Structure 1
C-alpha cells in the first residue's frame, strides 16, 4: 500500500511546476523573513507578494519541495511555516521516494522529525508515516541508524507496523537495534508480536545478540522466538556458534540454560562447537560448554579422526591445549590419531612450537612412540626439517623430546653445527654468499662511520688550542691525564675501524676458511673500535667537566661504561635465556661449544 502511495505521489510530482530560485535559496538557508515576504499568508497587506501559496508545491529536478530542502538542512521554523501554508507538502515524496519525515530522520534531525511525526498523527496521515525510500528503509530504520532513540520510540508508538519493514539489505529495525546495542529499542520491538527480526547475510536478531554478547536481549529473544536458535546464516553459523566464535561466554550460558541440546550442534561441514572453540583458542566458552554438556562432541563428524586437540595444536593455542589436558573427559585425545595416523604431538613437533610440545609432553598418559601411516614417530619429524629452519625453537623442541624419551634413536642428537655442515647444499652455499656480502657491507659501513667519528674528534679537541706566544697550537688541557687517555682511545678506535674497513673491502671472502677467520677478526676489531670510541667520548667529556661539574663527569663515565654491558646482554639474550631454561647439561649436549664458528649457512646467518 505504501508503494502505491509513493508511486501515485511521484506521478503527481511530474506535473508540479519547477521551484522558484528565491524559494529554493530561502529553503536552503532557512530564511524565514524571505518566506514571509514571498507568501501572501505572511506578507504585509500593503505589499504585493511574489508567490502564491500554490507555488510552494514547486519542485527541483530531483523532485524535492521546499519542505524537503528545509528538512535536509534541519530548518525547523521554515519547515513549519511552509506546512502551515500547505499541509499537503507533508506527504509529498521526491524521486528517491522520501517524504519530509524520512529525510529528517535520515539526516539525523530528530527534533524536526518528531514535529513532522506529530503533525502526521494530527492529520491522520498513517501512510505517510509508513513511507520508505528506494532502499525500503523507513523513518524507523533511519532513526535507529542515527542513534535517535527518543524518535525511534515515538515512531513505534505512532506506527508499530514500521517494525515489520525490511529494507533491500534484509535489515529489520530490530536487527539494527540489537547490532547497535540499543537495548531499550530492541526490547520494545520484541513486545510487538509481528515485528521482523531479519538481518543481512541471512542473519537475524539473535545472531546480532550473540555477536555483541548481549545476554539480556539473547534471553528475551530465546523466550519469545526460541526457533531462531537453530536458524543459520549464509555461512551456516547458528547464533550459538557465533557466541563460541566470538568468545561470548554469557550468551552461550543463556543458550544452554534455555536448551541444552544446542551444545551438541554440528554444522553441515561437520564441525562441532568444541572444534570451533579450539580453532580460535577460546578456553572460556569451551569450559562453559563442558559445564553444561560434559559429553559434548569433540570429533569432526565427517572426519572422525580429527579432534579439537588437533585443531588447537595446528593453530598454536597453547592455553587451549593445556585446558584439554586438564579436563578428565578430554585427556584421551592426546593419543588419538587422524587419518594419516598422526597424533597432536606429530603436528606440534612438525611446526617446531616449543610451547605446544611442552604442553603435550606434560600429560602423563602421552605415548611418544606412536607411528603415523608412513612409519614416522613424532620425534623422527625433527630430522626432516631443513637446515635453514633449525632455529632456537627447533633446538628447544629437540631437547624437550630428548627429555621425554632419552633412548629414542629417532631424535637427532648430534651437534647441530656439525650436522648442518654435513648437509650443506648448493642452495645453502648461495645463501651463505648472499649473507656474507650483506655482512661485509654492513660491517664496512659501521667501521667507516666509527673511523669518521674518531678522525674528526682528533682535530676537534676538547678545551680548544692555546694561543699564547710560544705555545701556539698546543691543546690547553694537554697535560691532563684524562686528555691523554682521550687521545689514546681515539687513536686506537680509529685504527681498528680502518683495519676492519680494509679487510671488508680487500679480503678473500669467497673461501670458507678465510671467511671464518675474517668474521672472527672483524667482529673483535669492530667491538674494540666501539669500546674505544665510547672510552674516548667519556674521557673527552670528563676532561671538560671535571673541574666544575665533577659529579656530572663521573655520572657520564659510568653511563658510557654501562653501554657495552647492555649491548652484550641484548645480543646474547636469546642464548642466555635458552641456557637458563634448558640447564647447562642439555644446552652443552645440544650446542656443544657455541663459540665454535663453522661457515655453515644457518650458524653464519645467526651470527650476522
Structure 2
C-alpha cells in the first residue's frame, strides 16, 4: 500500500506506519489526529448503549454517521503497516478496528491511555540512560515528582534505569533526591521517607534487585545500606525476600546474603519469582566453594599460607563497603589494598573471601534445616533438590554440612529414584563418594535401584555429559579413569549387584562396555598418535647419538687411535651422557613400538598402556636432556678458550629441549598420578 499516493488530509502528514514495535507512539499520533478532526469521542469511545465487551460487532458499532465512521477508519487503515492492516482488513467499524489493534499490539487499555505519561519523561529517560547528570538534574528540578514516577512501559523509575546502566554518579544524585529535606505546607522542615527506594518495576524488582541482577555489586552494596529494614523484610509469602537473596547469591554479593539470612533465617527455603529457593541457589554455585585442582601449586600455596581473611568482620554484620570514591564513601578493606599491587594476589584474596563467606552462609542456612519438621516443606522449599544439585556440582562442603544436620538425607532420592551415593558415582566426585560411603556403615545405599533398575555399579558404567572427564589429558586417560571408577565401586558392592541387570537386561559390565566403545576408540587413536610422534623423535636421537659416539670432538690420535681429549673430565662427561642418551632413546622407541603393537583390550587402558607410555616419555625426556648435556660438553671442549661464545650457545641449545618438555610434561605428570595414585575412594576419610 503506497501511503504517499493517498492523502486523507492535505495539511497533516500520515502517522508512522504501525508495526509490532511502535504501537505506543502510533496510538498517540492517531488519537491526536482523530481528536483534531472531532472523530475520537463518537467513533473510538463507544456510547454506553453499545454492546458489552466481547459481544460487539461492526453493525452495532457503526451506528454513527457513516461518513464520520469511514473517515476515522480510513485514518487508521492508512497508518497501518502490512501486518497490522491484515488484522483489520475486514472491519467496517473504526471502533472495532481500534480495539483489535489495541489487543494485538498494546499491552492493555490503560497502557494505551497512559502512553503520553511515559513520553513526557522521555528527556529524563535519555539523560539517565546516557549518564548525563546535568540534564537529569535540570529535569528533576523542574519536575521533582518524576523521581518516583515510572518512566518506561516496564514500570522502571529513573533509579532503575541508572542502576541498570551502571551510572553510579546518577544513582548517588537520585538517592540524595529521595532523601532531601522538603518543606510542608506549614513551613516546617520534614525528612522524606526512604520508601521510594522500594519502588518496584513491572517485574516486581526494586533498584537494589536490579543492581544485583546486572552485576552492579558496588551499587548494590551502596543501595543496601540505604534501604530501610522494612523494605528488606519478606513480603507476599516471603517471595520478595527470596528474590533479593537469590540474586545476591548468584551475583556473589555474599555479605548481603549473609545479612539477610541472619535477619530472616526462614528465607533459606522460601521461593523467589522463579520458584527457586536461596538454598537451591547456593547449591548451584560450585565456584563459590573451594574446588580440587582449582589452582596451580604455587598459587595454592599462596592461597593456603599467605592470605588471611578476617573472620571477625563477618561474625556480625559489618559490611566494609568498597564503593568508588565518586559515591562519596570511604574505602576500608586494608588487606585488599595491601596485596592489590602484587601480581595475582588480589584475585586470590577475592577468591578466598568468597569461599569463606559461602561457608558461613551455608552454615547459617543449615541451622534452619533441623527446624523444618514437615517433609512437604523440605520438598517444596527445594532442600532435597539442593542436596542433589550440590552432589552433581561436586560441592563437598555443602553435602557434608547438610548431612551432618540431618543424616536422613542419605536415603532421599531424586526424581529418577537415585540416592546421593548413586549421584556421586554418576557424576564422578570422589571426595563426596568417599564421605557418603563412610557414613553408610551398613552399605544400605548400594542396594538402591533407579527407575531403569540401574544400581550403583550401573552408575559407574554410565557416561553423563556433565561427568568430569575433561580434567584428564587425552581420551586414553579418560578411559583409564572410567575403569578405575568401575573397579572401585565394584569392590564395595555385593555379588548380586555386580550381576544384577537393568530393564534393558544389561549387567553393569555389559553396560560399561556398551557406553565406552567410542571412548575406547578415541583412546586408542590418542595413544597411537602420541606414540607415533614420540617414536620419530626417539629414532632421530638414536641416530644422532650413535653417530656422535664415533665422531668425538677433537678427533683421534693418529698414532694410538685414542681420542685426543680422552683424559679431560669434560670429555668423560660427553661420553657418559652420549651413552645415556643413546640408551634412553632406544628404550623410548621400544616402548612406543610396544604401544603401537598393543591389542588395546579394555583392561589394557587401566595399567598396561599407561605404564608403557610413562616409561616411554620418561626415557625420551632423559634422552633429550642427556643429548643437550653431551652437546654442551663438546662445545666447552672445543671452545675452552672462548667461553663468551660457548656459554650463550649452550643456553640457546636448551630452548628447544625445554619447549618439548614443557609441552609433554603435563601429560606425563597426569598419567603418572592417575596410574600410581588414582585416589578415588579414600577409605581413611573420617565421616
Distance 1:190 1:304 in 2: 38
Conserved in 1, the CA contact under 8 Å of 2:269 and 2:382? no
State the TM-score, normalized to the length of structure 2: 0.47
Distance change (3 Å), C-alpha of 1:371 and 1:461: same
2:393 to 315, 318, 321: 315
* C-alpha distance after superposition, 1:437-491 (max 9, x if no partner): 41343123323553576589789976x789x9x99xx997566353365357547
Matched residue, 1:272:
277
Give, in angstroms, the shift of residue 357 of structure 1.
1.0
Residue 486 of structure 1 corresponds to 574
Q: Taking structure 1 as reference, are residues 249 and 490 closer, same or farther at Cα in structure 2, changes over 3 Å only?
A: closer
| Structure 1: gaps of 5 or more residues | 1-10, 13-130, 413-418, 588-608
Of the three residues 429, 443, 447, the one matched with 2:538 is: 447
Q: 1:175 aligns with which of 149, 160, 170?
A: 160
Give 2:127's match in structure 1, choosing from 138, 142, 145: 142
Using structure 1 for the length normalisation, give the TM-score: 0.52
Q: Which residue of 2 aligns with 1:98?
A: none
| Pairing 1:530–2:613 present | no
Label 1:226 to 1:300 Cα distance change in 2 as closer, same or farther (>3 A).
Answer: same
Cα gap change, 1:510/1:291 in structure 2, threshold over 3 Å: closer, same or farther? closer
Aligned to 1:217: 223
Cα distance in structure 2, aligned partners of 1:372 and 1:316 = 22
Q: Distance in 2 between matches of 1:259 and 1:273?
A: 12
The Cα of 1:545 is off from its aligned counterpart by 7.5
Give the Å deviation of 1:500.
7.5
Contact 2:249/2:281 (CA < 8 Å) preserved in 1?
yes
Matched, 1:540 2:634: yes
Mapped partners of 1:293, 1:512: distance in 2? 55
Decide whether aligned partners of structure 1 residues 361 and 186 sit closer, same or farther in structure 2, where only a CA change above 3 A counts: farther
Deviation, structure 1 residue 345: 0.9
Residue-by-residue CA offset, 1:103-148 (whole Å, 9 max, x unaligned): xxxxxxxxxxxxxxxxxxxxxxxxxxxx999895434752575274
Q: Structure 1 pair 338/397, CA: closer, same or farther in 2 (3 Å)? A: same
**What is the Cα-based RMSD across aligned positions, in Å?**
6.1
Match of 1:331 among 395, 407, 421: 407
Inter-partner Cα distance in structure 2 for 1:355 and 1:264 = 27
Deviations 1:201-252 (A, max 9, x none): 663313125545535633654556569955999x998223312333434433
Summarize the alignment of residues 135-284 of structure 1 with structure 2, pairs less than 5 Å apart. 137-139=122-124, 142-143=127-128, 145-146=130-131, 148=133, 156-163=140-147, 164-167=149-152, 171-179=156-164, 180=166, 181=168, 184-191=172-179, 197-198=199-200, 203-211=205-213, 212=216, 214=220, 217-218=223-224, 220-223=226-229, 225=231, 230=236, 238-253=243-258, 255=260, 262-267=267-272, 270-281=275-286, 282-284=358-360
**Structure 1 residue 333: deviation in Å?**
1.1
Q: Residue 244 of structure 1: SS of its match in structure 2? A: helix
Rounded to whole Å, the distance in 1 between the matches of 2:361 and 2:522 is 47
Shift of 1:335: 1.8
Match for 1:372 among 415, 434, 449? 449
Deviations along 1:331-361, one digit per CA (max 9) or x if unpaired, are: 3212212343321111111122102212323
Partner of 1:352, secondary structure, is: coil
Which of residues 355, 375, 382 in structure 1 aligns to 2:460? Answer: 382
Residue 270 of structure 2 contacts residue 381 of structure 2 at CA under 8 Å; is this kept in 1? no
Asked if 2 retains the 8 angstrom alpha-carbon contact of 1:354 and 1:397, the reply is: no
Decide whether aligned partners of structure 1 residues 573 and 409 sit closer, same or farther in structure 2, where only a CA change above 3 A counts: farther
Partner of 2:439: 363
> Equivalent residue of 1:333, what SS?
helix
Q: 1:432 to 1:498 in 2, by over 3 A?
A: same
Residue 571 of structure 1 pairs with residue 571 of structure 2: no
Q: 1:465 to 1:160 in 2, by over 3 A?
A: farther
Secondary structure of the residue that 1:203 maps to in structure 2?
coil
Partner of 1:512: 599
Distance 2:395 2:595 in 1: 48
How far apart, CA to CA, are the structure 1 residues paired with 2:440 and 2:517?
A: 44
CA distance in 2, matches of 1:523, 1:221: 63
Q: Distance in 1 between matches of 2:555 and 2:437?
A: 71
CA spacing shift, 1:278–1:547, aligned 2, 3 Å: same
1:352 maps to 428
Higher-Rg structure is 1
- CA apart distance, 1:519: 6.4
Query: Is the 8 Å Cα contact of residues 438 and 683 (structure 2) preserved in structure 1?
Result: no
- Cα gap change, 1:572/1:190 in structure 2, threshold over 3 Å: closer, same or farther? same
Q: Where do 5+ consecutive residues of structure 2 fail to align?
A: 1-10, 13-115, 180-191, 287-357, 465-474, 500-508
Q: 1:400 to 1:358 in 2, by over 3 A?
A: farther
Q: Contact (CA 8 Å) 2:254, 2:361: kept in 1 or not?
A: yes
Q: Deviations over 1:516-561 (max 9, x none)?
A: 9996897797467436414413532553577898xx99xx99x99x
After superposition, the C-alpha distances for 1:83-105 in whole angstroms (9 at most, x for unaligned) are: xxxxxxxxxxxxxxxxxxxxxxx
1:590 is matched with: none
Which structure is higher in RCO with an 8 Å CA cutoff and minimum separation 6?
2
1:395 paired residue number: 484
Q: What is the DSSP-based 3-state SS (H/G/I as helix, E as strand, rest coil) of the residue aligned with 1:368?
A: helix
Asked whether the 8 Å contact 2:425–2:456 carries over to 1, the reply is yes
Whether the 8 Å contact between 1:244 and 1:276 is mirrored in structure 2 is yes
Question: What's the CA shift for 1:165?
Answer: 4.8
Aligned mates of 1:585, 1:245 — CA distance in 2: 32
> Could you say if the C-alpha distance between residues 175 and 457 of structure 1 is closer, same or farther in structure 2, counting changes exceeding 3 Å?
farther
Change (3 A) 1:452 1:155: farther
Q: What SS does the corresponding residue of 1:146 show, helix, strand or coil?
A: coil
